[in-house]
Chains A and B, each alone.
Chain A
């Protein structure tokens, strides 16, 4: 397509430049009922999976229909969402912190028409465009990252693993049968963008080989001290290297015995690529939460050290997740999150009930703090 100018003049880039205006104020986009009753809500109810009602002091009601969103969406799909909002909700809608879509209507008789409309919409391949659900003690959307769509440090894909997992647990998105809400999160490397470290079940991309060193370009592309300081186990040191043509260059040496393949050094230095088809895969973590309800927030803990990348459906990974969800659903008490449950029954029982193998990889060995994760008591179940 030919170039179409927006009015920006590259010859005078600072002319007519608008800056530091921040986001639009959220009140500009409030549905009227929300605006009128802000700060005056009395109570709410979950009418059915995916449908909420909030009642205000004035007696006003607002019904919310929550639908799953793939998070990665085209402009076309956003327009379709806008069409639905125009048709049923006077043009208003919102997205949740788990990237679900919420349509709000101000009376009960509008709910059924909106639900019927949403249920009818499917992609050509057959999947629901706007599946209703994600409320209460079920499984809501998966917070995830960029994966092979856009990032340069991933060890696995985000959108693919998330689609495979949500297909596996779809009935729990549309149901509220679990003891408490179960949050699944996904991050494609251990930068852990998102909520992996604090979710009930977490999918995490993981490498198993040390980085390769591109000696020829390293000193040109990288600030060597940054790469050294980026290593959590101090496996990297500066070194001179002789190229095949005899020139001596500044470079790095990696102690493979100390490297745990985190990939931090590649983040800082493009000459240390680390991803590997066979080496890369997935780690599963379990038992994190961020709410303060009953128990304080917890970090999630590694329970499966490695699962291969099996594109495009990651069957081994989804099966393990399925086993964990089922064991939790049948064994935990009401209101118990996965971490609460595992700590009550003991982690040795957790592994037994979920039929997960315990390997030495799961035993913490990172610095002093590892000691506190070992068991300094005789209290243990056989």
Chain B
């Protein structure tokens, strides 16, 4: 596990750049991730996706399925890719501080 520092905050991350612990998430983390995720400016829509992911994770202990995320945010998958070019898993979940997606991905 490597440690990265950004704006005075320290984050422990794995080799794919996911936060080791959801509880260490702060808003600086999102700013830190922006660049490598290919996002120039954070809009309200980005924060909307991130907040919904976090709420869902806190409530259910898992990341929402893509269909659920679409339904909750009102964004089609295409639009989620426009917001997060690496997609809902590698992009949005990572920025929201959720654990790395597992399984046959």
Contact = CB atoms under 8 A, between A and B. Distances in A.
Interface string A257-271: 000000000011110
A220 B19 CA distance: 9
Interface centre among A14, A191, A223, A268 (most CB of B within 10 A): A223
B103 A225 contact: no
Contacts of A225: 60-62
Contact of B104 (A191, A226, A269): A191
Given A220-B22, A270-B102, 5 more contacts: A13-B85, A220-B20, A221-B20, A221-B100, A267-B102
B103 A268 contact: yes
B61 A224 contact: yes
Nearest to A250: B61
A217 B100 CA distance: 13
Interface in B10-64: 20-22, 38, 57, 60-63
Nearest 6 pairs of A and B residues by beta carbon: A13-B38, A223-B62, A220-B21, A268-B102, A225-B61, A225-B62
Interface residues of B, number: 15
Contacts, number: 36
Contacts of A191: 104
A191 B103 CA distance: 11
Chain A interface extent, by class: 10 to 19
Interface in B46-95: 57, 60-63, 85
Given A13-B38, A220-B22, A226 B102 contact: yes
Nearest to A268: B102
A222 interface: yes
Contact of B85 (A14, A222, A267, A268): A14
A303 B82 CA distance: 52
Interface in A130-148: none
A72 B100 CA distance: 29
Contacts of A220: 20-22, 99
A223 B99 contact: yes
Contacts of A14: 38, 85
A244 B38 CA distance: 42
